[in-house]
Amino acid sequence: MTTFLEIRDLTMRFGGLMAVDHLSFTVEHGQIHGLIGPNGAGKTTTFNMISGFYKPTSGQVLLRGEDISGLKTHEVARRGVVRTFQHSTLFAELTVLENALVGTHMPFRPNIFAAIVGWDKEDRIGAEARAREALEFFGLDHLAGERAGDLSHGHQRALGMAVAYASHPDVVLLDEPFTGMNPEETRRMMGLMRNLRDSGITILLVEHDMQAIMGLCDTITCMSFGKFLAEGGPKEIRNHPAVIEAYLGGARHVA
Amino acid sequence: MLRAGIWILALAAFLALPHGLSFSQQEILVFLVINILLVASYRLLTLTGEWSLGHVVIMGVGAYASALYTKELGIAVPLSMLLGGLTAALVAVVLSFPLFRMKGFYFLIGSFAAGEIIRLLWKRFREPFGGAKGIKGIDPMPDFSVGFYRFDFFEPVSYYYFAGIVVGVCLWVLWRIEKSPVGLTFHAVHWQDKLAEASGVNLRAYRTLAFAIASGFAGISGALLAHYVGTINPNSFDVEVMVFVLTWAIVGGTATFYGPILGCIALTVLNEIVLRELGFEQMRPLIYGAILIASILFLPDGLESLVQKLLRRKAAPAKERVAE
């Protein structure tokens, strides 16, 4: 059986800087997989390469054996890999429901001629049902008519995930989903992510909040200075000497 | 019920409007109807966040194409108008390849340059574009009769009705597009292109689609113009006209469908009727400029914001009544 999502020798070079250096790891289907590392380790760059924002200098991203590296973002998304963004990247001017409706773009592809004549009723109903389902999943259904920009921070993050969820993804890439959340919001968000995983969606997340990562992830990959450092369950990672050294700054890394 | 009443009232106003106006005012009315389509199509392009300075030239593409199709190929006028619109859309698709490598301000300048190139081509090639003098003697719309009304296209009133119907249908199509999932995707592309892309939206395709549709309808408005005035030249579509379109859109506001149309009507009435009557003929561009500045300063959301305020004030008591 081919692996579900495999990162193989992924490299990204910005001029003279090796942001990601021959990184390899695999993500198992149906898991929550964390990607951690100190600031500047290249986590977000890795994310951007997997989701098609950057074209890797070399290396491959294999989804069920198919090389998806170097594809455009929307092409990657159409293969089932959907990402969310750091901060609250939303359609702030649109309503919450409309945000989720944009998320249904892939399962219910708009057709302009059908839309003019009015033959897309079923699609519109289907899209709205899916959008509402996504909102309900993240507990946002009561806010459907609100302007997305007016939501609280926690709700905005949840909406960002709802937009991704509405598109029926196989893998969701979450970029620092817990940033700026209070413990209560973090706890709720962790619950939502477990629900997401239990509904069959694989999650790959980048995060700094160690408590959340340790409590949530099935597998954790740690990277440092663009390189693979360690991989394992939360317990192994917590006690891994290389990881501790990377975070606390061992003598070798102090430049 | 109320809505149907409003539509009937609007229809009656549309039919009754030209009667009681002078001949020249009736002519202005025809131009107004054509310009409404021009500015409404422009709004569709602005939905994706791009502002073009080539829209009027694209309108000219439709005008030239439709004029040439009738003159050189002998195609019937109504069909050639449609083909003129299609041609404008096709030209837009071709232009999108260089233009959509740019965004925002750069797109604005790029579209201006592209428009000027097209205008230079018209000037340079006497065959078939007629050079600087343009095309003269464009076939008028043939007269026809629909039982209760005889369209005689020497009369501006007839052409007003004809153009009004064409523009009405076009506006309906534009409205349907905007209110459809496609329109929502245009908004998405405008507000957060990265997130739209991550949701599987092909940005290039949707930008091009909006540009092509807007250009197609601009082309139809150009064709309507060409077959009415009977003569077009490169200067009919220069940047001065583009400034008018921008002014209508900005003064009216582009957040709603009716905003630019409102701006177009208000400024045309002001420009053609009030100022002309008052004898400010020479100073009109100056006053136009002043209005633009004043509206940006004092009414940054356009005339539409006034209407929205009015509607909200009406809607609020209605809601309270429901609550009781």
- Quick: pLDDT tens for B275-292: 777 777 777 777 778 888
B247 in the same domain as B210 = no
One domain, residues B108 and B153: yes
Which of B237, B269, B303 finishes a domain?
B237
Q: Which residues of B touch A94 (CB under 8 A)?
A: 184, 187-188, 191
A30 and A46 fall within a common domain? yes
* Residue B321: pLDDT over 60: no
- Give the residue on B whose Cα is nearest the Cα of A88: B195
Check whether residue B111 and residue B254 sit in a common domain. Answer: no
Same domain, A71 and A194: yes
Q: Which of B198, B215, B237 is the last residue of a domain?
A: B237
Q: Are residues A210 and A150 in the same domain?
A: no
| % pLDDT > 70, chain B | 96
| Domain closes at, from A101, A131, A161 | A161
Distances (CA, A) of B44 to A62, B115, B193: 39, 19, 17
Same domain, B114 and B169: yes
Q: What range defines the domain where residue B313 resides?
A: 238-324
What is residue B254's predicted lDDT score, i.e. its pLDDT? Answer: 85
Q: Which residues of A touch B216 (CB under 8 A)?
A: none
Judge whether B210 lies within some domain: yes
Please indicate, yes or no, if residue B142 is contained in any of the structural domains. Answer: yes
Sign of CA dihedral A223, A227, A233, A236: negative
A244: its two tokens:
């501790």
| B232 and B243 assigned to the same domain | no
Is the Cβ–Cβ distance between A225 and A255 less than 8 Å?
A: no
- Paired sense of beta strands A5-14 and A58-63, if any: antiparallel
Q: Does B231 lie in the same domain as B151? A: yes
Encoded tokens for B156:
């501006």
The whole-number average pLDDT for the span B66-91 is 93
Partners of residue B188 in chain A, C-beta under 8 Å: 91, 94, 102, 105
**Identity of the highest mean pLDDT range in A150-154, B38-42, B256-260:** B38-42
One domain, residues B206 and B291: no
pLDDT 10s digits, B162-182:
999 999 999 999 999 999 999
Question: Same structural domain for residues A251 and A174?
Answer: yes
Q: Which domain holds residue A40?
A: 1-80+169-255
CB A63 within 8 A of CB A81: yes
Distance CA B303, CA B319 (A): 25
In a domain, B4, yes or no: no
Interface contact B269, partner A, CB < 8 A: no
Helices (H), chain A: 43-50, 73-78, 96-103, 112-117, 121-137, 153-166, 183-198, 210-216, 234-239, 241-248
What pLDDT shows up at residue B317?
A: 59
Could you say which of B182, B187, B202 has the minimum Cβ distance to residue A115? B182
- Note whether A9 and A58 are within 8 A (CB): yes
Q: Examine the domain organization and report whether B216 and B313 are in the same domain.
A: no
Average pLDDT estimate for B43-59: 92
Q: What average pLDDT does range B106-120 have in this prediction? A: 94
| Domain-located, residue B11 | no
Looking at the structure, do residues A110 and A232 belong to the same domain, yes or no?
no
CB B256 within 8 A of CB B46: no
- A19-25 long-range contacts, Cβ below 8 Å, gap at least 24? A19/A45, A19/A226, A20/A45, A20/A46, A20/A49, A20/A56, A20/A223, A20/A226, A21/A225, A21/A226, A21/A227, A22/A59, A22/A227, A22/A228, A23/A59, A23/A223, A23/A226, A23/A227, A23/A228, A24/A228, A25/A221, A25/A228, A25/A231
| pLDDT (mean) for B78-104 | 93
> What total of structural domains would you count in chain A?
2
Partner residues linked to A221 by β-bridges: A35, A231
Lookup: tokens for B154? 């020497």
Domain-embedded: residue B292:
yes
Q: Is the per-residue pLDDT at B121 higher than 90?
A: yes
With H, G, I as helix, E, B as strand and everything else as coil, classify residue A119: coil
What pLDDT score was predicted for residue A253? 46
Same domain, B222 and B75: yes
The dihedral sign for the CA sequence B273, B277, B281, B285: negative
Residue A206's DSSP bridge partners are A35, A175
Which residues of chain A does B181 touch, with a Cβ-Cβ cutoff of 8 Å?
101, 105, 108, 110, 115, 120, 123-124, 127
Q: How many domains does chain B have?
A: 2
pLDDT at B62 over 80: yes
Residue B120 has what pLDDT?
Answer: 93
User: Cβ B176–A116 below 8 Å, yes or no?
Assistant: yes
Q: Are A84 and A172 in contact, with CB atoms under 8 Å apart?
A: yes
**Which residues, 6+ apart, have CB-to-CB distance to B314 below 8 Å?**
none
- Concatenating the DSSP letter of every residue in B228-294 gives HHS-B-GGGGSHHHHHHHHHHHHHH-SSSSHHHHHHHHHHHIIIIIIIHHHT-GGGHHHHHHHHHHH
Query: Average pLDDT over chain B, rounded to whole?
Result: 88
| A59 plus A178 within the same structural domain | yes
The answer as to whether B1 is a domain residue is no
**Complex ipTM value:** 0.86
Read off the CATH number of the domain in which A72 is found.
3.40.50.300
In a domain, B117, yes or no: yes
Q: What is the predicted pLDDT for the residue at B306?
A: 86
Query: Looking at chain A from residue 47 to 76, which residues have their Cβ under 8 Å from any Cβ of chain B?
Result: 51, 53, 72-74
Domain boundary among A145, A161, A177: A161
pLDDT in tens, chain A (255 residues): 568 888 888 899 888 888 888 898 999 898 999 998 888 888 888 988 999 888 989 888 999 988 888 899 999 999 999 998 887 788 988 999 999 999 999 888 888 888 888 888 888 999 999 999 999 999 898 998 999 989 888 888 889 999 999 999 999 999 888 888 888 888 888 898 999 999 899 999 998 888 888 888 999 998 888 888 888 888 888 888 888 888 776 545 444
Instruction: Name the residue in chain B with its Cα closest to that of A117.
Output: B176
* C-alpha separations of A195 from A32, A131, A201, B5, B120 in Å: 11, 17, 9, 51, 62
**In terms of domains, do B43 and B118 share one?**
yes
Q: What whole-number distance in Å separates Cα of residue B33 and Cα of residue B224?
A: 10
- Are A199 and A74 found together in one domain? yes
CB contact under 8 Å between B200 and A105, yes or no, is: yes
Q: A177 and A76, same structural domain?
A: yes
pLDDT of residue B30: 92
Distance CA B116, CA B122 (A): 10
CA distances, A247 to each of A2, A40, A200, A209, B70 (Å) = 34, 12, 32, 13, 76
Element (H, E) at B79: helix B77-99
Does residue A151 sit at the B interface (CB-CB below 8 Å)?
no
Residue with tokens 């995983």: A197
Distance in angstroms (rounded) separating the CA atoms of residues A157 and B102: 31
> From CA B13, how far away is CA B36, in angstroms rounded?
16
By the 8 A CB rule, do A57 and A13 touch? Answer: yes
Judgement on whether residues B230 and B242 belong to the same structural domain of the protein? no
Is residue A59 domain-shared with residue A14, that is, in the same domain?
A: yes
In a domain, B228, yes or no: yes
- How do beta strands A202-206 and A171-175 pair? parallel
**Of A205, A202, A203, A179, whose CA–CA distance to A44 is shortest?**
A205
Position A249 scores a pLDDT of 67
- Same domain assignment for residues A203 and A242: yes
**Phi and psi for B148 in degrees, rounded to 5?**
-85, -15
Whether A131 and A245 share a structural domain: no
Please tell me the distance from the alpha carbon of residue A107 to that of residue A132, in angstroms, as a whole number. Answer: 14
Whether the pLDDT of residue B324 is over 50: the answer is no
Q: Return the pLDDT at B323.
A: 44
In angstroms, the CA A217 to CA B111 distance is 50
Last residue of a domain, one of B213, B237, B261: B237
Rounded to two decimals, what is the model's pTM? 0.88
For residues A107 and A229, membership in a common domain is answered with no
Question: Residue B310's pLDDT is what?
Answer: 85
Amino acid (1-letter code) at residue A47: F
Q: Say whether both B57 and B197 belong to one domain.
A: yes
Residue that finishes a domain, picked among A132, A161, A190? A161
Tell me if B100 sits within 8 A of B204, measured CB to CB.
Answer: yes
